[in-house]
A and B are shown apart, each in its own frame.
Chain A
Amino acid sequence: MARVDLRHIEKGYPGLKALDDVNLAIESGEFFTLLGPSGCGKTTLLRTIAGFIQHDAGEVLVAGSRIDQMPAHRRNMGMVYQDYAIFPHLSVADNVAFGLKTRRRPSAEIADRVQRALELVQLGNHGKRLPHELSGGQQQRVALARAMVINPQILLMDEPLSNLDAKLRVELREDIRDLQRSLAITTIYVTHDQEEALAISDRICVMQSGRVHQVASPQKIYAEPATLFVASFIGAMNVIPVGTADASLSATELPERLRARAPMTLAIRPEDIVVGQGANGNALALDGTVEKVTYAGREAYAHARCASGLRLLAHLYRPSAGQLALVGETVRLRLPLDRLHAFDAADGRRIELPA
C-alpha cells in the first residue's frame, strides 16, 4: 500500500519511442488502469515499474523513495501475468508459498498465510493439486494468491484476463475488484479491453505510441475524452471531419457559433443521435439513408449514409418493429449540439465548444 510517482519516464528502442515523457501519480490504494492498443507502451511501463525493463531517463518513486536502481527481486511488488506464469513443477500451495520462502518466513507462518490466501481466492482445498489439474481461471486465481500473499507494496497485473473465456473474464474481474477493495492494495492493471477498464478502474490512463493521452475516472474518460484518440478508442464514436480537405461535412452546414472553430473534428456517440422526425431544437439535423440495421436484442444500431457521403451510426434503444424495418428509408438524424465533442483538426486535442 503505497503511492507511485512516475516522473518524465523515457524508454526508446531502435527506431521506436516506447515511453515518451510519462508522468503519473498513482494514489495509495487506487485501482489504476493502463489502457491502450497493443504497442502503446502500457506493458513496457508496467515492466519498468516491476524492474524488468530499465528506462532510459526519469524517476520511479514508490512511497516517496526512488527505486530505479533497485533490482526487481527487491522491489516487493506482486505481479500477475497474462499467461499465469504458474510454476508447473510445484503444487498450488508451494506456488503460493514461493515468495514467503524466499523471504525466509517460519514454516508455520507460511502454511497459515498460504491457506488464508488460497481461501481468499476460493481455492482453499486445492493446495495439494498440481497446476495442470486446474482450469485457466483457477490457475490465474493461484497467481493472484501468490502475488498477494507477500503483502506487496504494489500489485501489478499484465492483461490477467485476456486468456480466459468471456464469462469467466467478467466473473474473475469482479473478484479481483472486490479483493483489491478489501485489501486496499495499490494496483496497476494493464489491459487493451476498454470495457474491462471502464468496469474495474478507479482511474484510467489511456496511452498511445508511448504517450499519455488522458488520466481520469472511467466516467470522465467516456463523457469528456481529452483527445480524438481517446474518443474513438473508448466505446463507439461517430467521427465527423469538418472544413478540412477530406471533410464529410462542410463548415457552412454548422450553426454560426461553431463555424468559427473549423477546421476541426466533431464526434458524437451513437446513443446521442436521435433518429426520426421531431423538432430540430438545439441540434444539427442531417438526412441519411439507412443502409443496414444491426439487431442485438435490447438494442439495435442503424447504419445511415448522408448525401455528403458521411456515414453515421445511431443507437436505437429497445427498437420497435418500425425502426428495424427502416432499411432503405431516408431518416432525419439529429445531433444535439450539447452532445457534440470537438477536437482540434491538427493535434486532436479536445476543444470546448461555446455553450
Chain B
Amino acid sequence: MIAGRRFDVWTSAMLLGFAFVAVLLVWPLWSILAASFTDNRTGVFTLNNYVSVLTRPLYQTALINSLIVSLGGMAGALLLGVPLAILTTRYRIAGRDLLATLSVLALVSPPFIGAYAWIMMLGQNGWMRHGLAAIGIELPSIYGFFGILLVFSLKFFPFVYLLTASSLNTINASVEEAAEGLGASPLRRLFTVTLPLVLPALSSAALLVFVLALADFGTPSIVGGRVRVLATTAYNLFTSEMGGNPGLASTTAIVLIVISMVVVALQRWAVRRRNVAGALLRRPQPRVLKPFASAVAHLVCYAIVLAASLPSLVVIYTSLRKTSGPVFQPGFGIESYARVMHEVPHVIANSFSYSTISVAMIVILGTLIGYVLARRDSPVAGTLDSALMIPYIVPGVVMGVGFVVTFNVPPLEITGTATILVLMLMIRRLPYSVRSSASILKQIKGSIEEAAISLGASPAQAFLKVTMPLMLPGIVAGALMSFITAINELSSSLILYVGRTMTMPVRIYLSVLDGEFGTAAALSTILLVTSGAAVYAVFRLTGSKENAFV
C-alpha cells in the first residue's frame, strides 16, 4: 500500500503464487500435452494419438457418451433446479430454509456416494425397484445412462437452484409488475421477462453442471456399467493392467479440457451483452398460492429435495445395519464401523490429515495471493489470475495423470508419497480460495486500511487490526468449504494413491466395486457427517447464506 516500497511481503506472495502455479499446474499440464503428441515406444512427435481418439470406435463412443451424460445431466439439473428456484422465490413455500439446507447437503456429499446408494435402491435387489415393480412400474437397469443421468440430475440441481434463486431474488419487483400491468399472463411474463433476466446466472449454473458432469469419474465408473465416458476411459488407459498407455490417456485428457474450454467460451459468448444489473429498489415478494396449487407446489419442491437427500439417508441406514462379514443380517448393529476402525484406521487418519494440511496451505497461500490480486492492479497480477482459472476446467482425472507423468521422475520424484496427494488437493482448490479472498477484499474498501494508516498504524498493523478481522469469517468459511471438497476428492486420489496413502473416498470406491457395502456405508457416513458439520459451521459463520456454496 505504501508507495516507494515495491518489494515487500506482497511481492513475495505473488512470486510464491507464480512458483506454485508453474510447478503444480503448468508443468503437469504441459507434460500431458507433450505426452499426447508423443509416441509411447519411440518417444518421437506424432499425431497418431489424436487420430486414434477421434477415429477409433471405442474412443468415439466414449466422447459421444461423455457429451450425452454431460448434456443430459445438465438438462436434468435444469429441469429440477429451475422450477424449484421459481417456486421458492415467487410463491410462499413453507420450510424454504429447510429446502435450501437439504440442497446444500446434497451438494456437498460426493457423487460416488449417491451412485452407490442408488444401486442399493434401484439395483436388481433394490427395495425401491421391488416396490415400484409391485405397483407395476418397471424401471430400466440402474447400470448405464439411466443411472448416470439420475445421479447427475439429483446431485447437480442444487447449483442451478441456488444460483437461479439468488438471481431471481435480485430482480426488481416493479419489473415483473410492469410486465403484468402491460397485460402479460404469468407464464408469458416468466418466459419473456423473468427468465431472460436470470439467464446469466442460469447459464453459468448450467455451465458449471456441464463441466462437473464431464469431469466426474466416480459416478460413471460405479453405475455406468458398459457406458464408458472420457474420464473413465482416460483412467483405464492410464492404470490398465497391460502397462497403461500414457500417450492415449493424455490425449483423452486433452480432449476433456478442450471440450470444457469450448463450453466455457460458448457460455461467455451467449451472455456477452447481457449485463442486466439494475438497482435493486424493491425485493420481489413471494405470493400466496390457492390451496390446491400450493399443495402441488409444495409436493414438487419437497419431492425434488427429498429425492436428492435419499442417497444420504440410505447410506446412513446401511451403515447401521447388522452385518456378518460382507453379508447384511436383519436388525441394526455397529459392525460396519467396528470393521473400518479395525481394518482401515489409517485411511480415516489419512483423509483427515491430508485435508487439514492442504487446507492450511490453501488458506495461507490463498489469502496472500488473493490480497495481491485484489489490491495490486498490475499485468503480472492479471496473468496470475488467469493462470488460476485453469483448475476450474481441468478434471481431477486429468490432474492426476498430469501429476503422475510429471512427478515420477527426478527432480521432483514424489509419486507414492503423501506429499503428492496433499499438493494435488491444494492446487485443485487453491483458485477457489484465492478468488473468494480476493472478492472478500474487494468488498473491504481500500480507504479503510488507509484510514488506519493515517491514524498511525503501520501497514502491517493496519492489515492485522483492520483487514484481517474483517476477512476472517470469509476466510474460515472458505477454508471449511475447501475442507469439504478436499476430504471428498476421489478421482485424482484414485490415480495417485498407494496402499499406505489411501483415503476414504478411494476406499469407498474400492469397497463398492468389491461389493463390501457395509464398509463403504460406514466410511461414507463418516464423510457425510464431517461434511454436514462443516456446512453447519459455514452457516453459522456466514449467517446462513446458501450461496456461499455455489
Residues of chain A whose beta carbon lies under 8 Å from any beta carbon of chain B: 50-54, 71-79, 81-83, 85-89, 98-99, 102-103, 143, 146-147, 150, 156
A81 to B466, CA, bound (A): 16
Chain A residue at smallest Cβ distance from B445: A83
* A53 partner residues in chain B, CB cutoff 8 A: 3
> Is the Cβ of A77 less than 8 Å from the Cβ of B454?
yes
Binary interface profile of B, 1-14, with partner A (CB < 8 Å = 1, else 0)? Answer: 11110000000000
Does B547 reach chain A (CB closer than 8 Å)?
no
A74 to B453, CA, bound (A): 8
Known contacts A81-B451, A85-B445: A76-B456 contact under CB 8 Å = yes
Binary interface profile of B, 442-482, with partner A (CB < 8 Å = 1, else 0)? Answer: 00010110111111111101100110011000000000000
Interface centre among A51, A53, A75, A87 (most CB of B within 10 A): A87
> Is the Cβ of B456 less than 8 Å from the Cβ of A87?
no
Known contacts A52-B3, A54-B3, A87-B466: A81-B447 contact under CB 8 Å = yes
* B470 partner residues in chain A, CB cutoff 8 A: 87-89
Chain A residue at smallest Cβ distance from B4: A54
Known contacts A76-B456, A78-B454: A87-B3 contact under CB 8 Å = no
Chain A residue at smallest Cβ distance from B457: A102
Known contacts A81-B447, A102-B457, A102-B461: A87-B452 contact under CB 8 Å = yes
In the complex, 11 of the A-B residue pairs with CB atoms within 8 angstroms, ordered by the A residue number, are: A52-B3, A52-B450, A52-B453, A72-B453, A73-B459, A77-B454, A81-B447, A81-B450, A85-B451, A98-B465, A146-B451
* A79 partner residues in chain B, CB cutoff 8 A: 450-451, 454
* A73 partner residues in chain B, CB cutoff 8 A: 453-459, 461-462
A99 to B3, CA, bound (A): 21
Residues of chain B whose beta carbon lies under 8 Å from any beta carbon of chain A: 1-4, 445, 447-448, 450-459, 461-462, 465-466, 469-470
Known pairs A52-B1, A85-B445, A147-B455. 8 more at Cβ < 8 A? A52-B2, A52-B450, A73-B462, A79-B451, A98-B452, A98-B455, A98-B457, A150-B456
Least distance between B453 CB and chain A CB atoms (Å):
5
Chain B residue at smallest Cβ distance from A152: B454
* A150 partner residues in chain B, CB cutoff 8 A: 455-456
A83 to B447, CA, bound (A): 8
* A51 partner residues in chain B, CB cutoff 8 A: 2-3
Least distance between A10 CB and chain B CB atoms (Å):
14
> Is the Cβ of A99 less than 8 Å from the Cβ of B445?
no
Least distance between B3 CB and chain A CB atoms (Å):
3
Known contacts A52-B3, A53-B3, A71-B2: A85-B456 contact under CB 8 Å = no
A71 to B3, CA, bound (A): 9
| Number of A-B contacts defined by CB within 8 Å | 78
Chain A residue at smallest Cβ distance from B449: A85
* B445 partner residues in chain A, CB cutoff 8 A: 83, 85
> Is the Cβ of B454 less than 8 Å from the Cβ of A75?
yes
Interface centre among A50, A82, A99, A147 (most CB of B within 10 A): A99
Chain A residue at smallest Cβ distance from B472: A89
> Is the Cβ of B455 less than 8 Å from the Cβ of A102?
yes
Within 8 Å by CB of A99, from B448, B450, B456, B469, lies B456
Least distance between B546 CB and chain A CB atoms (Å):
23
Least distance between A320 CB and chain B CB atoms (Å):
42
Cβ-closest 7 pairs across A and B: A54-B3, A99-B455, A85-B447, A85-B451, A79-B454, A102-B456, A81-B447
Chain B residue at smallest Cβ distance from A54: B3
* A147 partner residues in chain B, CB cutoff 8 A: 454-455
* B465 partner residues in chain A, CB cutoff 8 A: 98
A76 to B198, CA, bound (A): 50
Known contacts A79-B450, A83-B445, A89-B470: A72-B455 contact under CB 8 Å = no
Within 8 Å by CB of B450, from A85, A89, A98, A103, lies A85
A86 to B456, CA, bound (A): 15
* B451 partner residues in chain A, CB cutoff 8 A: 79, 81, 85, 87, 143, 146
* A86 partner residues in chain B, CB cutoff 8 A: 448
Chain A residue at smallest Cβ distance from B452: A98
* A102 partner residues in chain B, CB cutoff 8 A: 455-457, 461
A219 to B469, CA, bound (A): 48
* A143 partner residues in chain B, CB cutoff 8 A: 451
> Is the Cβ of A50 less than 8 Å from the Cβ of B454?
yes
A154 to B453, CA, bound (A): 15
A51 to B3, CA, bound (A): 8
Chain B residue at smallest Cβ distance from A99: B455
* B459 partner residues in chain A, CB cutoff 8 A: 71, 73
Within 8 Å by CB of B448, from A82, A85, A103, lies A85
A341 to B496, CA, bound (A): 82
Within 8 Å by CB of A72, from B447, B448, B454, B466, lies B454
> Is the Cβ of B454 less than 8 Å from the Cβ of A89?
no
* A85 partner residues in chain B, CB cutoff 8 A: 445, 447-448, 450-451
A79 to B452, CA, bound (A): 10
Chain B residue at smallest Cβ distance from A77: B454
A69 to B168, CA, bound (A): 52
Chain A residue at smallest Cβ distance from B456: A102
* B466 partner residues in chain A, CB cutoff 8 A: 87, 89
* B450 partner residues in chain A, CB cutoff 8 A: 50, 52, 72, 79, 81, 85
A76 to B453, CA, bound (A): 10
Least distance between A121 CB and chain B CB atoms (Å):
16
Least distance between B411 CB and chain A CB atoms (Å):
40
* B456 partner residues in chain A, CB cutoff 8 A: 73-74, 76, 99, 102-103, 150
A93 to B130, CA, bound (A): 69
Chain B residue at smallest Cβ distance from A104: B456
Within 8 Å by CB of B469, from A50, A52, A77, A89, lies A89
Interface centre among B4, B445, B454 (most CB of A within 10 A): B454
Chain B residue at smallest Cβ distance from A50: B454
Chain B residue at smallest Cβ distance from A156: B454
A314 to B459, CA, bound (A): 55
* A74 partner residues in chain B, CB cutoff 8 A: 456
> Is the Cβ of B2 less than 8 Å from the Cβ of A72?
yes
Least distance between B535 CB and chain A CB atoms (Å):
25
A74 to B465, CA, bound (A): 17
* A82 partner residues in chain B, CB cutoff 8 A: 447
A21 to B205, CA, bound (A): 53
* B453 partner residues in chain A, CB cutoff 8 A: 52, 72-73
A164 to B448, CA, bound (A): 18
A184 to B459, CA, bound (A): 30
A102 to B453, CA, bound (A): 10
Least distance between A162 CB and chain B CB atoms (Å):
13
* B455 partner residues in chain A, CB cutoff 8 A: 73, 78, 98-99, 102, 146-147, 150
* A146 partner residues in chain B, CB cutoff 8 A: 451, 455
* A77 partner residues in chain B, CB cutoff 8 A: 454
A232 to B461, CA, bound (A): 46
* A89 partner residues in chain B, CB cutoff 8 A: 466, 469-470
* B462 partner residues in chain A, CB cutoff 8 A: 73
A53 to B452, CA, bound (A): 16
